[in-house]
Structure 1
């Protein structure tokens, strides 16, 4: 058989015809992962304390459930997440129609923004709040309007005033807060809802609420059309890599997710693991105790180095370095050089801080050993640049 002859083909079009919006967007990732930094360093981190992961891990029964499901992984996951939604509804005392399961809170935020935000639509958030939400808003052409933190806490009153001013379609509030670890009593948020503009939807991100004091969760009726709440299995349940989040909201809004979501986006093993984790209240209490112990230890390490740890209702502690963002960035870089992965807030004045995830005793021993040298290096750089 003769060898086929392929004619050289030089297409007239040198690139896909991107939309004007996509052409205008930077190709960025909201977070530089520790794996990326490890590749650049050429060595793994000694302590992974920057991504707010739950190092204490998922319940053993969740691990067993995911392992058992591995043999069935040839099957697609249930596109309705029926069993998990039913269990979550029972857990929260709501109906399955109030629950939407998705690929982590990040995935659900993307679907929500896609449902509601188009070119030029106004959205309100706090300066320096969770950047992935902003990433989705920009990706669908929305316009962000921001308000500052007050005393290192997001302020519902300021957010709602700004929402009325710009006629915001979405208002984002994280309680407890990432990146500061601060929180507001749920009753404050419920009371503030009376001032939420009629045409605005509050996105209440409660990723860390299981780490927080009693009363932090806002007692909001799941059928209240003014609010959609976001929860996750990434934090207290230790399943960040499984990507399981869920939304609680009014049935009409929840059902609208079916118009845009990836119906086979949920990993089958992750669904089984989340279902098992939800049923293990003893493990949840165990992790809550481990987090409380680790927060105390991080606070002690900060104080021993002349720094101030801010009160935290999350699985991390934000440490005030006492200077500006440039100094805090130098501290982060010096810690990374010493094998300790941490992060920091990205907007002033909160960027005067570094953020340290709760870790094992060994992790925090490594952090305690590295911090004095990292501070000395940062102070040296600061003196040199000054």
Structure 2
């Protein structure tokens, strides 16, 4: 066991950073022997295609940061958050005062929900969209105003704009949208945001924007006091379990959000912050993940279409498709083959979502449902 551990640590060293696409799949998960020591024995052979995680794991530089700095976890190390925020500010072309950290973008969304709910009213959200976090809004008394997607499963920005009224406290835009994988054209989104009243918060969730070539709206916070951009290291950076996200907004909003944290910027662990700093430096890893995701996603869509499953053109690391013309028990097929997939998001059309895993995983997925 100790030999295996040393071998694994050696494999995730800096030498791996220069690997090409051909052997990139080897990063997908730790050795099976390692899983036995962490309580995952019964799940060692499962294929996880449910939560839009990066199947290639954290980057080699991030893994090295975890290993090299585990021993400093007994200290708070306040300076590390300063380093990370500075790096993020430089990356996005904003000031350090425009950023606050959170334990994944989930905490960021929760902070925005609390901020928006300081006064009663309503919030506007597309349907379907990522809405697990909105339980906080509902609990705190805001009324949910759902706006259906267009026929091609895109956000209906005009209808969302028309849904805004004087009592609207928050408009939520997930771009690209989860679970559909569709994206708003940047020009249309900019025009939409500028039409929202300044006393209504606009939360733009860019969790999956790294899987596209579209430019972030983060620089708009300089001139718009009501815009909040939510970002995360959970997706293309492969740090979902490390729980690290951040918000970009006007200084006044950032200060208001920070007041909703008991210890500003410190719900994220020291090693997670260091892993995030390392991830920002590993541009080769991010580029490889992007390229692999493109290749595997196109393969999967092509194979799903052969099975009479209508697919929505995706810009993300997941695919939204219809089971209306699929004549087997899809979810039973997944269960029988040890695959964790999504659920039904829209009963009409039986629309579901599947995460894009490695090529080997997606070939197993297609074989399982054939």
Q: TM-score, normalised by structure 1?
A: 0.79
**What CA deviation, in whole Å up to 9, does each residue of 1:45-69 have, x standing for no partner?**
5311111000012210111011111
Deviation at 1:303, TM superposition (A): 1.8
Map 1:28-43; keep pairs closer than 5 Å. none
Residues 265, 322 of structure 1: CA spacing in aligned structure 2 closer, same or farther, 3 A cutoff?
Answer: same
- Paired residues of 2:113 and 2:137 also in contact (CA < 8 A): yes
Deviation at 1:337, TM superposition (A): 3.3
- Paired residues of 1:190 and 1:220 also in contact (CA < 8 A): no
Residues 249, 348 of structure 1: CA spacing in aligned structure 2 closer, same or farther, 3 A cutoff?
Answer: farther
2:370 equivalent to 1:368: no
Deviation at 1:335, TM superposition (A): 1.4
Alpha-carbon separation, structure 2, partners of 1:198 and 1:342: 40
| Structure 2 partner of 1:266 | 268
Deviation at 1:323, TM superposition (A): 5.5
- Paired residues of 2:218 and 2:249 also in contact (CA < 8 A): no
Deviation at 1:97, TM superposition (A): 0.5
SS at match of 1:100: strand
2:136 equivalent to 1:155: no
**What CA deviation, in whole Å up to 9, does each residue of 1:286-307 have, x standing for no partner?**
1100110110121122022121
**What CA deviation, in whole Å up to 9, does each residue of 1:256-277 have, x standing for no partner?**
1221114231111100000110
| Structure 2 partner of 1:344 | 343
Alpha-carbon separation, structure 2, partners of 1:49 and 1:173: 24
Alpha-carbon separation, structure 2, partners of 1:270 and 1:69: 10
- Paired residues of 1:187 and 1:218 also in contact (CA < 8 A): no
Q: Larger C-alpha radius of gyration, 1 or 2?
A: 1
- Paired residues of 1:77 and 1:266 also in contact (CA < 8 A): no
Gaps of 5+ in 1: 1-38, 373-386
SS at match of 1:317: strand
Residues 321, 347 of structure 1: CA spacing in aligned structure 2 closer, same or farther, 3 A cutoff?
Answer: closer
- Paired residues of 2:124 and 2:171 also in contact (CA < 8 A): yes
| Structure 1 partner of 2:34 | none
Alpha-carbon separation, structure 2, partners of 1:138 and 1:306: 38
* One of 276, 292, 295 as aligned partner of 2:294: 292
Deviation at 1:331, TM superposition (A): 2.1
Alpha-carbon separation, structure 2, partners of 1:76 and 1:194: 41
Gaps of 5+ in 2: 1-38
Deviation at 1:219, TM superposition (A): 6.5
Alpha-carbon separation, structure 1, partners of 2:244 and 2:251: 20
Q: TM-score, normalised by structure 2?
A: 0.82
- Paired residues of 1:179 and 1:318 also in contact (CA < 8 A): yes
| Structure 2 partner of 1:97 | 97
Deviation at 1:255, TM superposition (A): 1.2
Alpha-carbon separation, structure 2, partners of 1:117 and 1:79: 32
Alpha-carbon separation, structure 2, partners of 1:149 and 1:78: 44
Deviation at 1:163, TM superposition (A): 1.4
RMSD: 2.2
Aligned residues: 326
Deviation at 1:320, TM superposition (A): 1.9
